[in-house]
Amino acid sequence: MNNKGKNPALSTAKSEGFANISVASERSGVSAKMIRHYEDIGLMAKVDRTMAGYRIYREADIHILRFIRRSRDLGFSTNEIGNLLGLWQNRRRASADVKRLALRHIADLDKRIAEMQAMRTTLQTLASCCRGDQRPDCPILEDLAS
Amino acid sequence: MNNKGKNPALSTAKSEGFANISVASERSGVSAKMIRHYEDIGLMAKVDRTMAGYRIYREADIHILRFIRRSRDLGFSTNEIGNLLGLWQNRRRASADVKRLALRHIADLDKRIAEMQAMRTTLQTLASCCRGDQRPDCPILEDLAS
DNA sequence: GTTAAACCTTACCATCATGGGAAGGTCAAG
DNA sequence: CTTGACCTTCCCATGATGGTAAGGTTTAAC
C-alpha cells in the first residue's frame, strides 16, 4: 500500500515505526503537554497526524525533542533553544555562533548565581547572629525592618 | 476638626502626613503596581482611602512596604514574606521561628545555586572544547544532540 | 471659572515554563 | 458493544511584574 502524503490510521503509523505522543514523551523526556506547547509556539514544526488527528512522531522528531530537553536542562530559554535548533539543523553553521550563544548563557547564569550568592551571604550573616531561641529579639527581622 | 473614622479629602490627608500611592512608592521602593498587588493578595491589610477612593499611607504602612521590599530583595517569596511580616508584628514571637525561615530559604538558594553551577560547569566544559570558528563542527551541539 | 496635566482607580492582558482539568473523539481489548 | 486508556482542543492557574485602557479626581495655570 502506498500512503505517501496521506494521513494513515494509527495502527498503520505505529506499524511503520511512528510513535504517538505518549511514546514520544517517554522516549524524549518531554511531557506530552510540553510537546504540544513547543509545536504551538513554533519551536518544533507541526508533525504529521493520523486520519483521526493524532500526532505521530518519527525518530527525527523524537531526536529534536531530546535536543530541546537537554537544552532546557542546561537552562536555555525557549528562545535560545530555537536559535540552537536552527544552528543544529544548518549544515553551514559556524561553531562560533553556537559558542557565542553558550557563552552568553554562561554569563547570564553567572549573573543570577552572583545575585543569589549575595542574598545567601547576607542571610547567612544575619542568621548566624540570631540566637534562634524563644526570645523575640532577632537581627534578621531588625535588618528587614531597617 | 475631628475626622476619626471618616474618609478625608486628599488635601486633608496630605496635610495630616498621609502619603498617596506614588509617594509611598518612592519612599518604599515598591512600585505602585506592586503596592496594589500586595494589598490584593492580602500581604498588606487594606489601607484607608480618601473620599474619592484614593489610597492613603501612613508611616507605619510605608515601613511595612520597606520591609516587604527588603525581604523581596533577599529572595523571599510572597508567601515567606507573609510569614516574616507575621513574626515581625508579633511581639511574642520566638526568634527561632524567624531563624528557621531564614535557614530554609538559604537551603533553597543553595539548591538553586547548585543547579545553576552544574549547568554552568557543563556549559563551560563544552564551550572550552568548541573552537568557535567558521567551521560547523561543534561539541556543544553534539552534546545537546546526544 | 474653565481647562489641561498629572494624578488616581479598576480591569484586563502579557510575560515564561509548566501543569491541571474538562469536554469530547478514537482505539483496542474483552 | 462496552469499557478504559488513549488522543484532541480549549481554558485556567502558577508568581512577580509590567503594560495599557477607560474613566474619575485633583491641582495648577490661564
pLDDT digit string (tens) for B112-125? Answer: 999 999 999 999 99
Mean pLDDT by 10 residues, chain A (146 residues): 57 77 97 96 95 96 98 97 97 97 96 97 97 96 96
**pLDDT-derived band of residue B139, with 50, 70 and 90 as boundaries?**
very high
Nearest residue of chain B to residue A100 (CA atoms): B132
Biggest CA-to-CA distance, chain A: 82
Report yes or no: A124 and B109 within 8 Å, Cβ to Cβ: no
Count chain A–chain B contacts defined by CB atoms under 8 A.
158
Residue B2 has pLDDT above 50, yes or no: no
User: Which of the nucleotides in strand D have any atom less than 7 Å away from a protein CB atom?
Assistant: 6-9, 15-20, 24-27
Q: Give me the CA A18–C1' D2 separation in Å, rounded.
A: 29
- Residues near B62 by beta carbon (within 8 Å), at least 6 away in sequence: B19, B24, B27, B28
Q: Give me the CA B39–C1' D12 separation in Å, rounded.
A: 23
Residues of B in contact with A84 (CB under 8 A): 141, 144
Who touches strand C, with Cβ under 7 Å? A 9-11, 14, 31, 33-34, 37, 50-54, 72, 77-79; B 20-23, 32, 36, 53-55
Q: Give me the CA B10–C1' C3 separation in Å, rounded.
A: 21
User: What 8-state DSSP symbol labels residue B134?
Assistant: S
Q: Give me the CA B33–C1' D12 separation in Å, rounded.
A: 23
Q: Which residues pair with B19 in a beta bridge?
A: B57
Q: What is residue B70's predicted lDDT score, i.e. its pLDDT?
A: 97
Q: What is residue A16's predicted lDDT score, i.e. its pLDDT?
A: 74
Q: What are phi and psi of A49, to 5 degrees?
A: -130, 155
Half-sphere exposure (Cβ direction) of A3: Cα atoms closer than 13 Å: 14
pLDDT digit string (tens) for A51-76? Answer: 999 999 999 999 999 999 999 999 99
The CA R_g of chain B, rounded to the nearest whole Å, is 24
Of B3, B42, B39, the closest CA to residue B21 belongs to: B39
B96, burial (CB in 10 Å: exposed 0-12, middle 13-18, buried 19+)? middle
Report yes or no: B77 and B98 within 8 Å, Cβ to Cβ: no
d(CA B136, CA B131): 10
DSSP result, A25-72: HHHHT--HHHHHHHHHTTSSPPPPB-TTS-B-B-HHHHHHHHHHHHHH
pLDDT digit string (tens) for B15-65? Answer: 777 999 999 999 999 999 999 999 999 999 999 999 999 999 999 999 999
Q: What is residue A13's predicted lDDT score, i.e. its pLDDT?
A: 63
Half-sphere exposure (Cβ direction) of B131: Cα atoms closer than 13 Å: 9
Give the minimum alpha-carbon distance from B2 to chain A in angstroms, rounded to a whole number: 32
Give the minimum alpha-carbon distance from A74 to chain B in angstroms, rounded to a whole number: 5
Q: Is A19 in a helix, a strand, or coil?
A: strand
Q: What is residue A17's predicted lDDT score, i.e. its pLDDT?
A: 78
| Record: contact A116-B109, CB cut-off 8 A | yes
Amino acid sitting at position B73 = D
Residue B69 has pLDDT above 50, yes or no: yes
Amino acid sitting at position B48 = D
